[in-house]
């Protein structure tokens, strides 16, 4: 993004695109929003899109595509095997990342499945800066365990540390010494660590981790799903990369790791995923599983139209003006809330604005799922669907007891190039109102709890009648307004 100053002195995020297609959205009355929330079992994943005003659940698969991506979809080659679409995508990916081999998969968690099948053995450990829900589930399903080695700064809500996603090097060395390198199935670095507020990993940290892994003969896996936000932060927060082209930074990342995988629902603004490696042995082992679990090697369970869109989207992701859009709008919302003393994760990261539910709802114990309660209250207050990133997103311990999350966050994701500045102002307004009335928010309890990934389709109910009290207060303050 160019260095642009406004005469007014305001720091205003500037859209580096123009709108050429629109989709109508509806803002339902607050009573209808409560009705919809109740029907969804107080789980924002189970809300129907027709009832949502602003969907901030995720950036996965809901990013706005460019006109060039839509045009490319018309050129798709539908061949089952040997599709030209595949080879176009392969050429783009191997050129950007500088790796030899590409395997297609239908999305990021499919990549995690393939990688875990090949690398994870029972009683082995995957060391990582921080886990993601599906990553952990695939590793534990194969009999492995995860160990999180995030720096201590990563757990601080308010911080001045610019790379809170960094892996702690001392912790990494200690874990390898404790378990022995033969018991480490792989080390994983997640760009833009999702569950701690979209916090980036520095290139310096990645170089240090890579050096250790190569000295010990341990495979280094890089989750690039949130790569674009992380690239933005590397360019603006690491002085040595200020004048480095985005593609050169990506090439350096590719040179430091053994396997890269990604969800194109995030990276590339299309639907799909893929695995990249230059390791011939690992490539051939994984290749055997693609036709078994995903589809033939030249489509991997993806629509070829999406593959064409992905190829263009990945090329566009090498443009700094494109990758700047999410972080600057996240920062704008965070700054609006910080001005009202509302607790959010700082410094603002990528992916979305992360509200600290533990502080916001300090009157609620973690056993009553404050992040989930705040997500429900946010929808009732404004028709805004966010995602719980806290204890609800954890798995129970083996003995059935609750595993309390390190952080209780409400994630308000920013799909790329979707929301306008006026909508950001509306979001801030409703959060500010909710914060002023936060004592009304009560807890939740499960009435239907799946054993795995319960946050996707579990159902809850409120403890007491706090949702009705919230609606009553809304009407007192806003009258007939929506």
- Residues designated as active site: 80, 132-133, 223, 266, 389, 455
Please count the other Cβ atoms lying within 10 Å of the Cβ belonging to residue 459.
Answer: 15
Considering only the C-alpha atoms of the chain, give the largest distance between any 2 of them, rounded to a whole number of Å. Answer: 66
The answer to whether the beta carbons of residues 151 and 184 sit under 8 Å apart is no
Q: Which helix (H) or strand (E) holds 446?
A: strand 444-448
Phi, psi of 74 (to 5 degrees): -75, -15
Phi and psi based region of residue 392 (left: phi greater than 0; alpha: psi -120 to 50; beta: remaining): alpha
3-state DSSP call for residue 190? strand
The answer to whether the beta carbons of residues 234 and 324 sit under 8 Å apart is no
Query: How many angstroms separate the Cα of 372 from the Cα of each of 215, 228, 367, 447?
Result: 43, 28, 11, 14
Contacts with 301 (C-beta within 8 Å, 6 or more apart), sequence order: 104, 105, 106, 110, 294, 295
The answer to whether the beta carbons of residues 408 and 371 sit under 8 Å apart is yes
Per-residue H/E/C for 338-397: HCCCCCECCCCCCCEEEEEHHHHCCCCCHHHCHHHHHHHHHHHHHCEECEEECHHHCCCC
Q: Give the 3-state secondary structure percentages of the chain, helix then strand then coil, rounded to 5.
A: 45, 15, 40
Structure tokens at 434: 């909710």
Angle at 242 between CA 240 and CA 248, to 5 degrees: 85
Q: Would you call the peptide bond into 347 cis, given omega within 30 degrees of 0 as the criterion?
A: yes
3-state DSSP call for residue 101? strand
Residues 267, 223: Cα–Cα separation, whole Å: 11
Residues 406, 397: Cα–Cα separation, whole Å: 14
How far is C-alpha 474 from the geometric centre of its chain's CA atoms?
A: 31
β-bridge partners, 147: 127
Sign of CA dihedral 111, 113, 118, 124: positive
Residues 394, 406: Cα–Cα separation, whole Å: 10
Phi, psi of 68 (to 5 degrees): -70, -35
Query: How many angstroms separate the Cα of 66 from the Cα of each of 2, 18, 417?
Result: 20, 10, 9
């Amino acid at each position: 993004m160019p260095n642009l100053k406004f005469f007014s002195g305001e720091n205003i995020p500037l859209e580096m695109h123009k709108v050429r297609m629109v989709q109508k959205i509806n803002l339902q009355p607050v009573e209808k929003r409560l009705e919809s929330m109740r029907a969804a079992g107080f789980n924002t994943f189970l809300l129907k899109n027709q009832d949502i005003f602003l969907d901030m659940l995720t950036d996965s698969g809901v990013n706005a595509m460019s006109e060039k991506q839509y045009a490319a979809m018309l050129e798709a080659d539908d061949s089952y095997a040997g599709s030209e679409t595949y080879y176009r995508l392969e050429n783009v990916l191997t050129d950007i990342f500088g790796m030899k081999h590409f395997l297609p998969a239908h999305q990021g968690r499919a990549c995690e499945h393939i990688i875990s099948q090949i690398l994870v053995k029972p009683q082995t450990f995957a060391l990582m800066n921080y886990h993601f829900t599906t990553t952990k589930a695939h590793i534990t399903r194969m009999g492995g365990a995860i160990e999180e080695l995030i720096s201590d700064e990563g757990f601080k809500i308010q911080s001045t540390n610019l790379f809170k996603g960094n892996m702690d090097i001392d912790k990494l060395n200690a874990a390898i010494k404790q378990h022995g390198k033969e018991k480490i199935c792989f080390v994983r670095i997640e760009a833009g660590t999702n569950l701690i507020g979209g916090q980036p990993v520095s290139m310096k940290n990645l170089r240090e981790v890579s050096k250790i892994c190569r000295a010990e003969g341990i495979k280094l896996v890089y989750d690039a799903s949130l790569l674009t936000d992380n690239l933005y932060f590397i360019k603006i927060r690491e002085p040595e990369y200020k004048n480095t082209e985005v593609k050169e930074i990506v090439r350096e990342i590719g040179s430091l790791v053994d396997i890269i995988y990604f969800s194109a629902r995030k990276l590339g603004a299309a639907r799909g995923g893929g695995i990249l490696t230059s390791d011939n042995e690992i490539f051939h082992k994984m290749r055997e599983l693609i036709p078994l679990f995903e589809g033939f090697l030249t489509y991997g369970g993806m629509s070829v139209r999406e593959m064409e869109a992905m190829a263009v989207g990945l090329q566009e992701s090498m443009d700094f003006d494109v990758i700047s859009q999410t972080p600057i709008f996240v920062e704008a919302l965070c700054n609006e809330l910080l001005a009202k003393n509302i607790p959010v994760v700082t410094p603002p990261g990528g992916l979305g604005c992360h509200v600290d539910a533990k502080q916001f709802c300090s009157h609620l114990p973690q056993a009553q799922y404050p992040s989930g309660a705040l997500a429900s209250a946010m929808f009732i207050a404004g028709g805004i669907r966010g995602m719980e990133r806290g204890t609800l997103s954890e798995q129970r311990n083996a003995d059935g007891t609750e595993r309390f999350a390190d952080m209780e966050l409400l994630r308000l994701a920013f799909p790329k190039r979707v929301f306008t500045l006026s909508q950001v102002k509306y979001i801030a307004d409703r959060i500010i109102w909710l914060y002023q009335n936060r004592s009304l928010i009560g807890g939740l309890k499960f009435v239907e709890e799946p054993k795995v990934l319960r946050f996707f389709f579990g159902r809850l109910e409120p403890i007491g009648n706090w949702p009705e009290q919230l609606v009553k207060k809304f009407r007192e303050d806003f009258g007939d307004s929506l």
